[in-house]
Structure 1
Amino acid sequence: MKLRSWIVATSLVFGSGCLMRTSTHESAMAKAKTAHDEKVADLDKQIADLTKMRDALQTEIDAQTTLLADLKGRLERLGQNVDSLTKDNAEAAARLEELRKQKAAADARLATFKSLLSKLQSMIDSKQLKVVIRDGRMIIALPNDILFDSGKTSVKKEGKDALEKVAQVLATVADRDFLVAGHTDNVPIKTGQFPSNWELSAARAVEVVRFLVSKGMDGKVLAAAGFAEFDPVVANDNDGNRAQNRRIEIVLQPNIGDLPNLDELTK
């Protein structure tokens, strides 16, 4: 009888332990899924915003196409030579061509963004980096905690592993230049090597550029700049926010062809 009671009690203890471990594992999995879903939702929103911008350009192209056809129809009804366009017609045609170029550039940016997201997704999920759109530019942001120790410029092993993967992806992006930007929080530094955060942020950016080149990127498409504490993404009012502001950003620069024509700007 005593033996049977001991066996029952032991079974209950082990069974309870298994249930607790299962519950803890399920809770961790649920939290991880929620975090992943939030990241996916954020990236989907950025893609949706770019798609909306492209669709708006298409709508304007359609409107200009309709206007151009209407002007041609009026000229035909008036018995004038269609090839001899009026000033309004010429301006509409020029505007239509400019809109087509803008839409083509928007389509190219969207395709590049989607491609980069796909290639960097595993690093985004592991929180090694973020990919965002800010001021119309695509930015890969890496936290300083992964790359550097406090007040240092030597890239840590974890940072080198992350940058090597980034270099492999960026090397596949054709006809684009990249700006590597160093950012700090607002905590001042004053050493013989770094009199201020300007020097520290610039030195870190240069160190990242050198590493990217050592991993196969063309130095001709890379530039480095330091912004010190003067371009924060959030207010420097607590430790968590200051950690967000300490970062390296790799900015995908616009093509010259994406910029407005100088003649258009001077009209």
Structure 2
Amino acid sequence: MARESFRWSMLATMAALLLTLVGCGHTDEEMAGKQREIDKLSADLKTAQSQLAEDQAKYGKAQGEIEDLRGQLKQAGIDSDKLRQAVSEYKQRSEQLAAIEQRFRDLKNRLDKLTQVGLKVVVRNNRMVIQLPGDVLFDSGKDELKAGGKDVLAQVAQVIGSDATLSQRIFQVAGHTDNEPYGGGPFKDNWGLSLNRARSTLLYLVTPRADAPAKPGAKAAPAGKGGGGLNPKNWSAAGYGETDPLAGTVENQSKDDRNKNRRVELVLQPNVEEMLNLNNIK
């Protein structure tokens, strides 16, 4: 359409020039200048006409290709309207996944505050995980939290509890051991030890803070016996024993591997609609 308008514009200009030449007296030099202008416009017009013909041919070819594709889709049993709908749904789902990924990026940024107290926030097994070294929390073979462990957990609870988004999320406390056999003690085996350590960690995190007012009908926490004050409805505990090592394998672990594998993890649980590959947000 633009080239068609250009052609008519040039024709009108040429007509005006011819009228000017016919209707008025001009010197030979002026006449020659006008003639050159007319010649140039004629050449431009021919070029525009040639380009227009080429564009029309390309347009006709493209239309033919579109019709051929429609025919192929129809033969393949694919309706073009359904195809457009599928593309639209894919685009919508892609946008939803991008929004979920951004939500997890935001959650990780919030949890990264814990790196200031020496903890690691990582993505492992497609879950966002706060890793707590076992030797910081517990003495060897014990499930009672050390004073230093309580201090660390208090800082974790402070970060999670003071954040309106994190405080509403679901977490699982996961206990892990090394591959050294545990027997003859109160926990029977590594499953029992890891589960009881996870339970002790969970109980501290959900116990009301010492400075928190008691709820109606409930006792206030004894002096010096308060915990993290997190919502118990959002927390659960699990024990994995030696089955999920960070380093080495279940069968073979060096001393350094065993130190890394004795740990407690706070695992952020995704909602059903948030099941996507979290490796993208590392």
TM-score (norm 1): 0.62
1:31 matched residue in structure 2 = none
Deviation at 1:174, TM superposition (A): 4.3
Deviation at 1:192, TM superposition (A): 4.4
Maintained 8 Å contact 2:136/2:148 = yes
Maintained 8 Å contact 1:232/1:245 = yes
1:217 is matched by which residue type in structure 2? L
Matches within 5 A, 1:179-194: 179-194=172-187
Offset from partner CA, 1:109-141 (integer Å, 9 cap, x none):
001111211x213212xxxx2111113221110
Q: Which runs of 5+ in 1 are unaligned?
A: 1-73, 79-83, 261-267
Matches within 5 A, 1:178-257: 178-214=171-207, 215-235=228-248, 236-257=252-273
2:87 matched residue in structure 1 = 92
Aligned pair in 2 of structure 1 residues 258, 153: CA closer, same or farther (>3 Å)?
same
Matches within 5 A, 1:102-121: 102-117=97-112, 119-121=113-115
Maintained 8 Å contact 2:174/2:237 = yes
Q: Which has the higher contact order (CA 8 A, sep 6+)?
A: 2
1:120 is matched by which residue type in structure 2? L
Deviation at 1:147, TM superposition (A): 0.4
Q: Which moved more, 1:190-199 or 1:240-249?
A: 190-199
Deviation at 1:259, TM superposition (A): 3.4
Offset from partner CA, 1:55-103 (integer Å, 9 cap, x none):
xxxxxxxxxxxxxxxxxxx79xx9xxxxx97110111111111111100
- Secondary structure of 2:238's aligned partner: strand
Matches within 5 A, 1:1-267: 86-117=81-112, 119-124=113-118, 129-171=119-161, 172=163, 173-214=166-207, 215-235=228-248, 236-259=252-275
Identity of aligned residues (%): 40
1:65 matched residue in structure 2 = none
Offset from partner CA, 1:28-59 (integer Å, 9 cap, x none):
xxxxxxxxxxxxxxxxxxxxxxxxxxxxxxxx
Offset from partner CA, 1:175-227 (integer Å, 9 cap, x none):
41101000000001112411110000001001100000011111111110000
Maintained 8 Å contact 2:139/2:146 = yes
- Secondary structure of 2:128's aligned partner: strand
1:7 matched residue in structure 2 = none
Offset from partner CA, 1:140-187 (integer Å, 9 cap, x none):
101111000111000000000000000111222144110100000000
1:250 is matched by which residue type in structure 2? L
1:158 is matched by which residue type in structure 2? G
- Secondary structure of 2:258's aligned partner: helix
2:160 is matched by which residue type in structure 1? L
- Secondary structure of 1:228's aligned partner: coil
- Secondary structure of 1:195's aligned partner: coil
Aligned pair in 2 of structure 1 residues 114, 247: CA closer, same or farther (>3 Å)?
same
- Secondary structure of 1:138's aligned partner: strand
- How many pairs does the alignment contain? 175
Maintained 8 Å contact 1:176/1:255 = no
Maintained 8 Å contact 1:132/1:139 = yes
- Secondary structure of 1:149's aligned partner: coil
Maintained 8 Å contact 2:167/2:230 = no
TM-score (norm 2): 0.59
CA–CA separation in structure 1 for the residues paired with 2:185 and 2:116? 39
Maintained 8 Å contact 2:115/2:121 = no
Let me know the Cα RMSD of the aligned residues. 2.0
Q: Which runs of 5+ in 2 are unaligned?
A: 1-65, 71-78, 208-227, 277-282
